[in-house]
Amino acid sequence: MGHTTTTKKPTTESPLELVTSEIVGPSSSHTAGVMRIGRTITQKTRPFGPIKITLYNSLADTGDAHMTKSALVAGLLGWDDSDPRIPFSFRYAEDAGLHIKWSHKRDPSQHPNTLTATIQDTHGLLHHYKGISLGGGRFKVTTQHTPHTPETPTP
């Protein structure tokens, strides 16, 4: 069972560049960081099958209004932050055969901008990701991989 952590800073560093980000959505924590978490997951687990995603706390409370889900799906599709299709990512995900089961939870022990994703790859290995959007497009992702057994629920 492997466990790794990835923390990334955005490629832009100046405050002006952060404020004038091209990403669609009202909050960098709920769009830019979340999209980058999705893209990191896609880069680590490809190809994959069904995905189970849980949004926690602030992401769960405002995810639809802040386009969190659209940004996350766009990241899972591997899109760039400035892609104009972000608001329509669900349409493209369906065309790409991406199947996501969503849930929302309140858990004060979790960071306000936390999400978890469980993905089964085409080899039957389950990948568990925990992503935290830290603001300003910064994020942290931890992973754990477990072999799928008949007792292990699939996403």
pTM score of the predicted model: 0.78
Which burial class, exposed, middle or buried, applies to 111 when counting CB atoms under 10 A from its CB (0-12, 13-18, 19+)? middle
Alpha carbon distances (Å) from 63 to 5, 70, 105:
24, 9, 12
pLDDT by residue (tens digit) across 47-67?
Answer: 677 899 999 999 998 877 778
pLDDT by residue (tens digit) across 79-88?
Answer: 998 899 999 9
Domains of the chain: 3-18+26-79+92-147 (3.30.1330.90)
